[in-house]
Amino acid sequence: MDYLTLAIATGRTSKQAMNLLEKAGLNFPDYHNKSRKLVMYDETETVKLIFVKTADLTTYVEKGAADIGVIGKDTIMEVQPDVYELVDLNLGKCQVVVAGFPTQKLQNGAPLTVATKYPIITKAFFDRKGIRVETIKLNGSIELAPLIGLSEVIVDIVETGTTLKENGLVVLDKIVDISARLIVNKASFATKTNQIERFITKVKVVLE
């Protein structure tokens, strides 16, 4: 029998995803917290697990290098891959928010400068609000941008709000709640339907 290839991002939700798989009866003998292996098989050798960078995961699934993948809703919204999004795994729950100094107003006028690693989500949100923005793409330490005058506000994911608070920033508006999702390659869903449905059934039992 052909195996399923499952892609998991090496980011903040990977450990939670592995715990979920273990509870679903999918055990990977070679996996441990300090492992650097990028490819491994479950004990039945029906699932091949690959670890990839978060920014690349949707490409692996969309192009068919992986049949299924676990990735945050924020990445799905930003990349908009041509895949099926089938299950909310309720892992890594947080929010995409607009944040800035407490006195900062979100209103139309001169374009609002926004630092973010999510330019598409940002544009869609402020277009709905009717507020013009100038987006500055950053890849990390987004909170630094308003502190040094690079931007007026930021759009970023927030889990506890501790980093914002420690830098004198507050949430000005919430854009969306996010969590990890199970995505599936469209061709794989047609050719490996039974295998994928069995996999999803095992995962859903844990989520109930």
Residues 51-84 have pLDDT tens digits of: 999 999 999 999 999 999 999 999 999 999 999 9
Tell me if residue 132 falls in helix, strand or coil: coil
Dump pLDDT digits (tens) for 79-110.
999 999 999 999 989 999 999 999 999 988 88
Using CA atoms, how far apart are residues 81 and 23, in angstroms rounded to an integer? Answer: 28
Region 22-43 average pLDDT? 88
Percent of the chain with pLDDT over 70: 100
Using CA atoms, how far apart are residues 91 and 98, in angstroms rounded to an integer? Answer: 22
Residue 15: pLDDT band (50, 70, 90) is: confident
Using CA atoms, how far apart are residues 24 and 1, in angstroms rounded to an integer? Answer: 20
Q: How far is CA 29 from CA 9, 14, 22, 41, 61, in A?
A: 19, 16, 11, 8, 24
Find out whether 115 and 151 touch, Cβ atoms under 8 Å. yes
Using CA atoms, how far apart are residues 80 and 121, in angstroms rounded to an integer? Answer: 10
Region 23-38 average pLDDT? 86
The secondary structure of residue 111, as a DSSP letter, is P
Find out whether 101 and 81 touch, Cβ atoms under 8 Å. no
Residue 1 has pLDDT above 70, yes or no: no
Residue 133 has pLDDT above 90, yes or no: yes
